[in-house]
Amino acid sequence: MKLVFATNNQNKLKEVQDMLPNSIELLSLKDINCFDEIDETETTLQGNARLKADYITSKYGYNCFADDTGLEVKSLNGKPGVYSARFAGEPSDSEKNMQKLLSELNGIENRSAQFRTVVALNLNNENYLFEGICKGDILHHKQGEKGFGYDPIFKPLGYDASFAEMSSATKNKISHRGIAIQKLVAFLKNFRE
Q: Which of 67, 68, 137, 151 is catalytic?
A: 68
- pLDDT of 42 reads 95
Contact between 80 and 138 (Cβ < 8 Å) = no
- Condensed to tens digits (0 to 9), the pLDDT of residues 134-144 reads 999 999 999 99
What are the extents of the domains in the chain?
Answer: 2-190
Cα(85)–Cα(70) distance, integer angstroms: 8
- pLDDT of 13 reads 85
**Is 18 known to be catalytic?**
no
Amino acid, single-letter form, for residue 133: I
The residue with greater pLDDT, 127 or 169, is 127
Beta bridge partners of 134: 115
For 172, other C-beta atoms within 10 Å of its C-beta total 18
Q: E strands of the chain, at which residues? A: 2-5, 25-27, 64-73, 80-81, 112-123, 126-138, 154-156
pTM for this structure?
Answer: 0.89
The residue with greater pLDDT, 4 or 191, is 4
Span 18-28, average pLDDT: 85
Instruction: Look at residue 192 and tell me whether its pLDDT is greater than 70.
Output: no
Percent over 90 (pLDDT), the chain: 75
- Condensed to tens digits (0 to 9), the pLDDT of residues 83-130 reads 999 999 988 899 999 999 999 999 999 999 999 999 999 999 999 999
- At the topology level of CATH, where does 2-190 sit? Maf protein (3.90.950)
